[in-house]
Amino acid sequence: MWPFRRRRSPRLESVPIGELTTDPTDYPILTVGQSRLVDSFTALDFTGEKSPRFLLSRAHPVIDPRMKAIADIELRVDNHVVGYLRPPALNEAIDLLSDRHADALDIPVAIFSTPAGPEVRVHSALSETNRQER
C-alpha cells in the first residue's frame, strides 16, 4: 500500500465576510487598540468626525513566532491598522480563516467618533457566518 495524501486547495488571498451597510446597528463587535493607533486614524483623515464612516477592512492574522500560532487578528483599512479583534470575535475569525483556508478576511467595519477618540466596530456577519458554518 502507498500512503494517501489529501491535497488541500491553495490558500485564498482573502475571503469576503458580510456586506458593507450604513446601519450602525449592524456593527456590534467592539475592537481593541484604538488608543494606540492614533497615527492610523490621522493617516485615514479620521479626526473628530461626527458621523460614522463605514469601510471595508482586511483582517490579517498576527503570528506569534515562538508558538507558530495566531496570536491576534488585526484589522487594516487602506493598509493602516485600526484595531484588533477580541474574543469571542477573535476565535470566530481564526475559525473562519482555517475553515475557508484563507490568508485574510474582508470584513466591513464602522469607525465612530467618541469623546475618548475613534472607536472601531465590526459587522455582525463575522459571528453570523461562523455560526452558520458550524
The predicted-structure confidence for 35-72, as pLDDT tens digits, reads as follows 889 899 989 988 776 789 999 999 999 988 898 888 89
CA distances from 102 to 16, 61, 98 (A): 10, 10, 7
> How high is the mean pLDDT of the chain?
87
pLDDT for 6 beyond 80: no
pLDDT at position 13: 85
Provide the pLDDT confidence category of residue 114 given band limits of 50, 70 and 90. Answer: confident
* Residue whose cell numbers read 482555517: 98
Q: What are phi and psi of 52, to 5 degrees?
A: -70, 155
Query: Quick one: CA torsion of 50, 16, 85, 11, rounded to 10 degrees?
Result: -150
15-38 pLDDT, tens digit per residue, is: 999 999 999 999 999 998 888 898
Residues 78-91: b if buried by 16+ CB within 10 A, e if exposed: eebbbbbbeeebbe
β-strand 80-84 against 15-16: which pairing, if any?
unpaired
Residue 103 per-residue DSSP state: S
